[in-house]
Amino acid sequence: MSVLVFIETEEGKIKKSAREAISYGAALGDVTALALGTVSQDELATAGENGASKVLHVSDERLNASLIQPYAEAIAAAANATGSEIIVTAKSSLADAVVGRVAIKLGASLVSNVVALPDTSNGFQVKRSIYTGKAFANVNLTTDKKVLAIKKNAIEVKTDGAAASVEALSVTLDDSLFGATITSTEKAEGDVLLPEADIVVSGGRGLKGPENWGVIEDLAKTLGAATGCSKPVSDMDWRPHHEHVGQTGVKVSPTLYVAVGISGAIQHLAGVNSSKYIVVINKDEEAPFFKAADYGIVGDAFEVLPKLNEALKAALA
């Protein structure tokens, strides 16, 4: 089975979620990866570690702007050129806008938020997350070509492959596809960014003020985690809005989510309930978040976090 995997890059590096998509594709068949814009050949060759046998590179600098229309055109053209039956990408804000257009161009079925490999025992059925992770749906795809957008952190990354060959791919992209102009871009800051994080440490109003956020940042640094916060915290400008986790903020699905001093309102839970494990630290034993937690600690965050951090440092040393 021929599989084309579109890999998103950022600042010249392949995103972790893209590597998950490659690993997913490798479990289905022979993977050709596709990269768009300016990326080094050495970086693209590392896609082989995740299961790609070959990487096609459309190096048109106009694609560096990540515009929707030319991306859809390039991906569809690559799918046709390779005769790929399945097109795979990681689900993202960019992919959400692109994959629908790709599916229309190819006459393909489309499923987003995919969380498991397809069941091909009787057709082609995929499992997807729905209702902000509260339920799953099994979807049958009946068209010859299929487009699958994989939910972040749902697939284990394969790392034992050899370097992939990298080949240039020429795609004709009309100037009319570049009609939109990005006037400015505001990027989230931090050593680890929320959308890509495998571990997230979040704080709520229980931290009492922005001056106390050091305990959150210290724990995050020890764990190699991203930092997040509840909506009230960002509304009060204790933390930047790009750290707001929840239904109206960033939705995350890390392996581990640590919630400190957060009560667990339904809007916050909607943004984190796809996490594999949830740890809640709160001095209020009646906090609703404990009902969703895999592990809970009833205690004062200013006493618990320093001790937890020291214990983790010793264990990880």
**CATH number for the domain that contains residue 40:** 3.40.50.620
Domain-located, residue 54:
yes
State the Cα–Cα distance between residues 262 and 207, nearest whole angstrom. 9
pLDDT attached to residue 193: 77
Report pTM. Answer: 0.82
In a domain, 109, yes or no: yes
Instruction: Supply the pLDDT for residue 312.
Output: 95
Residue 190: its pLDDT value, please? Answer: 62
pLDDT value at residue 132: 73
Determine if residue 216 is labeled as part of a ligand binding site: no
205 known ligand binder: yes
Judge whether 59 is annotated as a binding position.
no
Residue 86 is labelled as binding a ligand: no
263 is in an annotated binding site: yes
Q: Are 134 and 275 members of one domain?
A: no
Same domain? For 157 and 210 the reply is no
Which of 178, 205, 220 is where one domain is finished? 178
Q: Which residue has the tokens 């630290």?
A: 281
How far apart are alpha carbons 270 and 90 in whole angstroms?
20
The answer on whether 25 is annotated among ligand-binding residues is no
Cα 124-196-243 angle, rounded to 5 deg: 130
User: Is 187 a member of any domain?
Assistant: no
- Whether residue 82 is found in the same domain as residue 222: no
Q: Which parts of the chain have pLDDT scores under 70?
A: 186-191
* pLDDT confidence of residue 194: 84
Predicted pLDDT of residue 185: 73
pLDDT the model gives residue 267:
92
Dihedral sign for Cα atoms in the order 189, 95, 268, 290: negative
CA distances from 35 to 5, 17, 52 (A): 9, 14, 12
- pLDDT at 13 (0 to 100): 94
The full 3-state SS of the chain, as one line of letters, equals CEEEEECCEECCEECHHHHHHHHHHHCCCEEEEEEECCCCHHHHHHHHHHCEEEEEEECCHHHHHCCHHHHHHHHHHHHHHHCCCEEEEECCHHHHHHHHHHHHHHCCEEEEEECCCCECCCCCEEEEEECCCCEEEEEECCCCCEEEEECCCCCCCCCCCCCCEEEECCCCCCHHHHCCCCCCCCCCCCCCCHHHCCEEEEECHHHCCHHHCHHHHHHHHHHCCEEEECHHHHHCCCCCHHHEECCCCECCCCCEEEEECCCCCHHHHHHHCCCCEEEEEECCCCCCHHHHCCEEEECCHHHHHHHHHHHHHHHHC
Q: Examine the domain organization and report whether 174 and 229 are in the same domain.
A: no
Based on the domain organization, do 160 and 274 belong to the same domain? no
Q: Which domain holds residue 146?
A: 2-178
CB neighbours of residue 180 within 10 Å: 11
- Does residue 186 lie in a domain region? no
157 assigned to some structural domain: yes
Domain boundary among 145, 178, 211: 178
278 carries a ligand binding annotation? no
Burial 285-312, CB ≥16 within 10 A → b, else e: eebbbbebbeebbeeebeebbeebbeee
Examine the domain organization and report whether 148 and 254 are in the same domain.
no
Domain count along the chain: 2
173 and 199 both lie in a single domain: no
Q: Do 148 and 241 sit in the same domain of this protein?
A: no
Residues 32 and 115 in one domain: yes
Question: Per the annotation, does 104 bind a ligand?
Answer: no
In CATH, what number is assigned to the domain containing residue 258?
3.40.50.1220
- 266 labelled binding-site residue: yes
Q: Was 265 annotated as part of a binding site?
A: yes
CA diameter of the chain: 61
